[in-house]
A and B are shown apart, each in its own frame.
Chain A
Amino acid sequence: MRARTRAAIDSEAMETAAVEVTDLVKRYGATTAVDGLSFTAPRGAVTALLGPNGAGKTSTVEVCEGFRRADGGSVRVLGLDPAADAARLKPRVGVMPQSGGVPTGARAGEWLRLTASFHARPLSPDTLLERLGLTNASRTPFRRLSGGQQQRLSLAAAVIGRPELVFLDEPTAGLDPQARHATWELVAELRAAGVGVVLTTHHMEEAENLADRVVIIDRGRVVADGATGELTCDGHELRFEAREAVDTEALEAALPSGVRVEARPATAGRAAECAVARADGGEIGPEMLATVGTWCAANGVHPEGLRVQRRTLEDVFLELTGRDLRS
């Protein structure tokens, strides 16, 4: 009986999402930062909120963390209300703010031991420091840590309590490539251990590499939401750069019908680029690659960086918003 009840609770827990945001609205005075935003983040998976700065990512996460009150809509975290059930949620949810959050005079190791002491079954602070390359900085006050060390310490403090769910707000902002890689590895390990991760980023590669689901946010609204593969799967493209001018109409004529050729003019430091894609978003096969190669040979065009690829999240974002994600 007891076991069945336990199983029932577990199955109920598995059915509720890690995070469920419905029609969320958040305003600051006259500014609407989040404007009817909805998404679901499953348990034990990595969900990336992707969007340019000022899109409303941090506001959304801060409502989920219980730091801010929603002006409209509803938010459930692990099936609970982040404001009303805050005391029950806090031990179960790890939080990494975008910056700061640590007293400037606290030493790295000291801060991590403090956060560990708030939890019943924490990870070993020393092991976590070693894992994130902070052992030598253990006695360094927070204000003397580099930006990357501060970020990693903040990440460590978010996961040390062995939470079920972590919110990471721009976890790799300002990190050098090695530190970014270490962070990505840690996120992958959290996911493998069954921890749900919701992270914000404005780096496409980060979302593509890490996330099971991507929620693209622009101006406080969701413009695309889906499994990472789904968002990018349709829309195969063949691309190449060329120093010579490419007659796109002539190339198009040489290709099967239903294939369009688009030229992207040269920009500073970049050669003109040609993109070949099926209008229906279908696959670009080897025959088409051969046709393009033959056409280039016949027309004296020297292609560089010739590649067949799926469209990137940036392409998806550009199509949906007409704006550059890197802004």
Chain B
Amino acid sequence: MTETTARPALDFTPAPGAAPMARMVAAQAGMELRIMLRNGEQLLLTMVIPVLLLVGFSTVDVVELGDGPRVDFLTPGVLALAVMSTAFTGQAIGTGFERRYGVLKRLGATPLPRFGLLAAKTLAVLAVEAIQIAVLCSVALALGWDPQGGPAAFAYALLLVLLGTAAFSSLALLMAGTLRAEATLAAANLVYVVLLGLGGVLFDTGRFPGAAQTAVEALPITALAGGLRAVLADGAAPSLLPVAVLAVWAAAGAALAARFFRWE
């Protein structure tokens, strides 16, 4: 640039106004989605680990998985894990650091209202989950997965995924909005590992002794994995219990997050 180059003209004359809500939410959701898909650690958590678990445990006989084909047992559990990794772990860590770096505060100064931001985050999480489910189902089908049930079973599975997303998202926001970012990072990963181990993702919770089994079955991951497995692997009729467990977690998490979430 030389001294004589004309500066690009900008008309700063005030002309304020908010964009239509749909445009704001769509733009914010697009940004959230691109950031999630670009984040290597998050992709490891949301894509690589579930695929590796599915392929590894389907093909190698290291744990006892019951009678039927191994992939039929594993796929519903890994789908539940995928939902948890995106809606809970990834979202908690991402939002925790956004809070730490003042992003939530900065967005609070724009015309995008808070519910618009939450809607955008939810849309981005659902979009990532759709990609995860497409990838995992393709891998499972390639491994010989034979899901049971008709349209009613799939509709029920979708309902469970949506309720699970609501439950995990509200717990993620509760954690991200109350703990320091570093504590959220550690706790969200810890919860991920503990729930992966306990929650019926890779093996049946029926192996736990009585009281422990009841406790484990009240976990959102167990309700989601167990509910999906019952209809997709065992061909059972949809049950109300997993729906109720997930709904209670979603309601409790949302109420606590609304009460205790700090934007900065």
Contacts and interface: CB of A to CB of B under 8 A. Distances in A.
Interface of A: 65-67, 87, 90-93, 95, 97, 99-106, 110-111, 113-115, 117-121, 123-124, 127-128, 130-131, 159, 161-164, 189-190, 192-195
A117 B24 contact: yes
- Chain A: interface secondary structure? loop
A118 B10 contact: no
- Chain B: interface secondary structure? loop
Interface residues of B, number: 36
Contacts of A102: 101, 103, 106
Given A103-B35, A111-B31, A119-B18, 17 more contacts: A67-B105, A90-B110, A92-B14, A101-B102, A101-B103, A103-B31, A103-B101, A115-B110, A117-B27, A118-B19, A127-B10, A130-B8, A163-B14, A163-B16, A190-B12, A193-B13, A194-B13
A123 B39 contact: no
A163 B14 CA distance: 5
Given A104-B101, A119-B19, A131 B10 contact: yes
B11 A123 contact: yes
A167 to B, nearest CB: 9
A110 B28 CA distance: 11
Contacts of A130: 8
A121 B14 CA distance: 10
A219 to B, nearest CB: 24
Contact of B112 (A65, A101, A118, A123): A118
B240 interface: no
Contacts of B204: none
Interface of B: 7-19, 23-24, 27-28, 31, 34-35, 38-39, 97-98, 101-103, 105-106, 108-113, 264
A120 B109 contact: no
A120 B15 CA distance: 8
Contacts of B23: 117
9 contacts: A100-B101, A113-B27, A118-B111, A131-B10, A159-B12, A161-B16, A162-B12, A164-B14, A194-B13
A111 B107 CA distance: 11
B18 A120 contact: yes
Nearest to A141: B38
B52 to A, nearest CB: 24
A91 B113 CA distance: 11
A192 B9 CA distance: 14
